[in-house]
Amino acid sequence: MAVPQLPLLWRSILVLYAALCTTSTAAAETSQTPLSQAGYKVGQTIPVSCLNRTTDTGEHITDASGELLYTPFPICNETGKPLELIFGVEKDINCTIDFVDDPFFHLLEFYVHNDAPLTCRIPTKPLPPSPSKEEFEKGTTDLTEGQGSLSDVYTPMVVALAGTLQLSHLHVSTSLNVLVHAAPKSVAPGTIAAATAYSISREPPTRIVIGDSLPLRFSVRWYPNTSLPSGWTGVGGHLTFSTLVYCLISAGASAAICLAYFRGVELPRRLKSHGKDRVGGIERGGGLGGYGISNGYYGPGKRD
């Protein structure tokens, strides 16, 4: 009876062993988390790249496989590198593009006139290091994620560049606000959720012709979640709860001050003044009650 059961027992042992090997392999793969899955640390730099467009029509350029081509942001004269953001750090970044050549000038015309948006992007998480030539030839590295063709690898950052077109030059609003939202730490720490940038009318627009430099100033602000804090307090008769509380507190404080002044200063002064008036009236009248009754008055009748 024991002999027929041996194959079944061995089969069970083999199945259990295979399951354990599969679990161990999965655990090992999980422990070797790729760098692309690790979140940003505060202070880590974030490269900015923008969609490559033609200077003739402003259409985007694609590669042989139909993927959109992105190029690094133009080099900033201050750093000698393309524009970079710093994770979790709010600061003003100056990025002066040293020379506006003819192709870039025509792209600025498209951006300012809103014929084509200045579409940029930033990595949602740090990108893995560039693969070596051997890894590329062997096919052991998936370059799709590195190139950012997947939507969750990069976060779009459309730059709304404002200005006006003239016949011979451009006026560009070079001061821009940059708003970046990070995902909540409890959900995805070190992960970028959304980003945008837009020109503001902080200063008069900069006049640009071919050959000039383009001084861009980015005021970067970070938010720890996808909600914007309310900064509007209302104007022109809008009553808010904080305004109502402020009015009630001001009214109560004013009433308390007035009451303290009346009871501590005004009331004693009036009582003292009233007492002096009563005593003075008796002294001036020479009689009772201050009615000026003469001491020689003895009642009705005629004085001798």
Transcribe 11-54 into DSSP letters. Answer: HHHHHHHHHHHHHHHHHHHHHS--GGGSPPPTT-EEE-EEE-B-
Q: Is the domain of 151 the same as that of 285?
A: no
Over 60: is that where the pLDDT of 233 sits? yes
Going by C-alpha positions, the residue among 197, 50, 220 that lies closest to residue 120 is 50
Cα–Cα separations (whole angstroms), residue 72 to 51, 170, 179: 9, 23, 20
Q: Is the domain of 203 the same as that of 251?
A: no
Last residue of a domain, one of 173, 194, 223: 223
Q: Is the domain of 205 the same as that of 259?
A: no
| DSSP secondary structure letter of residue 80 | S
Place of tokens 């524009």: 83
| Alpha carbons 182 and 189: distance in angstroms, whole number | 8
| Mean pLDDT within 117-133 | 82
Q: Is the domain of 273 the same as that of 196?
A: no
Which residue has better confidence, 88 or 269?
88
The reply to whether 21 falls in a domain is no
| Alpha carbons 214 and 104: distance in angstroms, whole number | 11
19-33, 90-104, 172-186: the lowest-pLDDT one: 19-33
| Mean pLDDT within 242-254 | 82
Residue 244's φ and ψ, nearest 5 degrees, are -65, -45
Q: Is the domain of 264 the same as that of 157?
A: no
Q: Is the domain of 168 the same as that of 118?
A: yes
Task: Of 5-14, 181-190, 271-280, give the range with the top mean pLDDT.
Answer: 181-190
199-203, 235-239, 266-270: the lowest-pLDDT one: 235-239
Q: Is the domain of 127 the same as that of 207?
A: yes
Report residue 263's pLDDT band, with 50, 70 and 90 as the boundaries.
confident
Q: What is the pLDDT of residue 167?
A: 83
Q: What is the pLDDT of residue 35?
A: 40
Over 90: is that where the pLDDT of 34 sits? no
| Mean pLDDT within 26-55 | 74
The reply to whether 10 falls in a domain is no
Over 70: is that where the pLDDT of 55 sits? yes
Give the number of residues written for the chain: 304
Q: What is the pLDDT of residue 107?
A: 93
Report residue 114's pLDDT band, with 50, 70 and 90 as the boundaries.
confident
* DSSP for 101-137, written as a single string: -HHHHHHHHHHHTTSS-EEEEEESSPPPPPPPHHHHH
* Token code pair at residue 145: 């994620």
Q: Is the domain of 170 the same as that of 207?
A: yes
Return all residues near 229 (Cβ < 8 A) that are at least 6 apart: 223
Structural domain count, the chain: 2
Residue 223's φ and ψ, nearest 5 degrees, are -130, 135
Q: What is the pLDDT of residue 155?
A: 95
The reply to whether 19 falls in a domain is no
Q: Is the domain of 56 the same as that of 145?
A: yes
The reply to whether 263 falls in a domain is yes
Last residue of a domain, one of 191, 223, 255: 223
Q: What is the pLDDT of residue 211?
A: 94
Over the chain, what is the mean pLDDT? 78
Over 60: is that where the pLDDT of 22 sits? no
Biggest CA–CA distance in the chain, Å, is 163
Which residue has better confidence, 271 or 302?
271
Over 90: is that where the pLDDT of 184 sits? yes
Cα–Cα separations (whole angstroms), residue 271 to 200, 276, 277, 302: 65, 9, 10, 41
Over 90: is that where the pLDDT of 157 sits? yes
Over 50: is that where the pLDDT of 110 sits? yes
Over 50: is that where the pLDDT of 137 sits? no
Over 70: is that where the pLDDT of 6 sits? no
Which residue has better confidence, 264 or 277?
264
Q: What is the pLDDT of residue 300?
A: 54
Q: Is the domain of 210 the same as that of 270?
A: no
Which residue range(s) make up the domain with 195?
A: 35-223
Return all residues near 58 (Cβ < 8 A) that are at least 6 apart: 107, 110, 115, 116
Q: Is the domain of 204 the same as that of 257?
A: no
Residue 91 one-letter amino acid:
K
Over 70: is that where the pLDDT of 112 sits? yes
Q: What is the pLDDT of residue 266?
A: 80
Over 80: is that where the pLDDT of 148 sits? no
The reply to whether 23 falls in a domain is no
Q: What is the pLDDT of residue 251?
A: 87
> Taken in order 192, 198, 202, 206, is the CA torsion positive or negative?
positive
Q: What is the pLDDT of residue 149?
A: 46
Q: Is the domain of 248 the same as that of 107?
A: no
Report residue 217's pLDDT band, with 50, 70 and 90 as the boundaries.
very high
